[in-house]
Amino acid sequence: MIIQNNVPGKAYNTFGLNSQLSKLIVLDDRKDLAYLRPYLQEHPSWILGGGSNILIEDNLNKPVVRVNLKGIQVIKDNEDHVLVSVMAGENWHELVLWSLGQDYGGLENLSLIPGRCGAAPMQNIGAYGIELKDVLHTVHAYHIEQGLELSFHNQECGLGYRTSNFKTKWKGQYLITEIVLRLTKIGHHVINTSYGAIEKELAHKGITEPTIKDVSNVVCEIRKRKLPDPEIIGNAGSFFKNPIIERKQLVALQEKNKEVPFYEVDSDNIKIPAAWLIDQCGWKGKVVGGTGTHKNQPLVLVNHGTATGSEIYALSEEIKVSVASRFGIELEREVNVWSKQ
Ligand code: EPU
């Protein structure tokens, strides 16, 4: 365990914001949780993975615990699948590359998602037709108040569209230490190309029977084309969730906007791409001081280099207001806002 005071925050969030962290605790040994517990009970802290889904609004006076636990291990090997234990501090995309190297399937559509594995269940990461929910077996998490490590099966985690019990009703109670994934073995892979862009890209390459590596390559290409690389331009991926509205609301929306794109969620509910709503309000590629929206994907707010957290937050408020007043739809932030309290 390493403890540092007054640390520049830039390296700890993919927005590249230089807010100061008053105390940074780097947890690299599970055993240290027992020593850390009394401190965490007294000082509620922010738990940090890769910093790819947070907006640090100000200099932080609450301690930050960076989870650096490492290790990837096959814990069960059956004829058709494996169970893989992954410690929370492992980088997500490196895990995907490792799984492809072993020819284990299930993570290929989730290629190139920034962040660390412990954060994956928090918002049930998802992309290109797959969510963590589809491959997650168990989450191991340390209950800070009780000082116990507990295990939760997939169904107990309350996983939904960019949400989980860890993010909602259990907020702040747990530190995720390890996840266990159920991955397929060769001959049992389930290739998912249902997301239009993947199908189109594979057809363009003349690939008719894609392998899991082909799917991963195509997903990486699409992401690189559409989404800004946080190493080059600070961002935290989609800033808002795609809103879910009732079918009758869609009918009203279509009266004024015939071309509104939508996806069916169930018989009563419809998902509208937030990118489209924001785009229609004229925000695409807009530069506002040091911040703005990305030129290819307006759902992604960016730091052009000099932005502060408060500036990005203010822009997100402005976007919310303009979408609400034009379409009557309330956008919900996907990114977690860390502010002084
Ligand atoms: N669109 C526009 N204008 C644009 C871009 C997109 O109108 O400039 C509309 C189009 O109708 C397009 C639709 O938005 O078809 C959807 O866009 P896209 O395929 O880029 O996906 P998204 O719904 O904006 C979601 C996830 C992404 C994930 C992609 C691919 C959320 C909040 N975001 O984005 O996740 O990579 O689908 O599956 O669900 C993230 O969570 O950080 C993230 C990047």
Q: Is there a contact between 337 and 301 (Cβ–Cβ < 8 Å)?
A: no
pTM over 0.85: yes
- What atom of ligand 1 comes closest to residue 128's alpha carbon? 38
At 182, the amino acid letter reads R
What pLDDT shows up at residue 340? 78
79 among known catalytic residues:
no
Residues 98 and 93: their CA atoms lie apart, in Å, by 9
Residue 64 dihedral angles phi and psi, to the nearest 5°: -115, 125
What pLDDT shows up at residue 206? 97
261 lines ligand 1 (CB under 6 A): yes
Which of 162, 178, 201, 223 is catalytic? The answer is 162
* Residues sharing a CB contact under 8 Å with residue 133, sequence separation 6 or more, in sequence order: 124, 126, 154, 159
Return the best residue to mutate from 109, 125, 229, 276 for the ligand 1 pocket (most ligand atoms within 8 A of CB): 276
Residues 273 and 117: their CA atoms lie apart, in Å, by 26
> pLDDT tens string for the chain (341 positions)?
999 999 999 999 999 999 999 999 999 999 999 999 999 999 999 999 999 999 999 888 899 999 999 999 999 999 999 999 999 999 999 999 999 999 999 999 999 999 999 999 999 999 999 999 999 999 999 999 999 999 999 999 999 999 999 999 999 999 999 999 999 999 999 999 999 899 999 999 999 999 999 999 999 999 999 999 999 999 999 999 999 999 999 999 999 999 999 999 999 999 999 999 999 999 999 999 999 999 999 999 999 999 999 999 999 999 999 999 999 999 999 999 998 76
What pLDDT shows up at residue 58? 84
Residue nearest to atom 24 of ligand 1 (CA): 275
Residues 5 and 59: their CA atoms lie apart, in Å, by 13
Given its phi and psi angles, is residue 237 left (phi above 0), alpha (psi -120 to 50 degrees) or beta? left
Termini Cα distance of the chain: 26
What pLDDT shows up at residue 341? 66
Q: How far is the CA of 333 from the centre of ligand 1 (A)?
A: 14
Q: Provide the CB-side half-sphere exposure for 307 (13 A, CA).
A: 30
Q: How far is the CA of 47 from the centre of ligand 1 (A)?
A: 27
Copy the structure tokens of residue 193: 């190309």
What pLDDT shows up at residue 111? 98
Other C-beta atoms closer than 10 Å to the C-beta of 188 total 12
Helix (H) or strand (E) holding 325: helix 309-327
Copy the structure tokens of residue 277: 């709503």
Q: How far is the CA of 100 from the centre of ligand 1 (A)?
A: 25
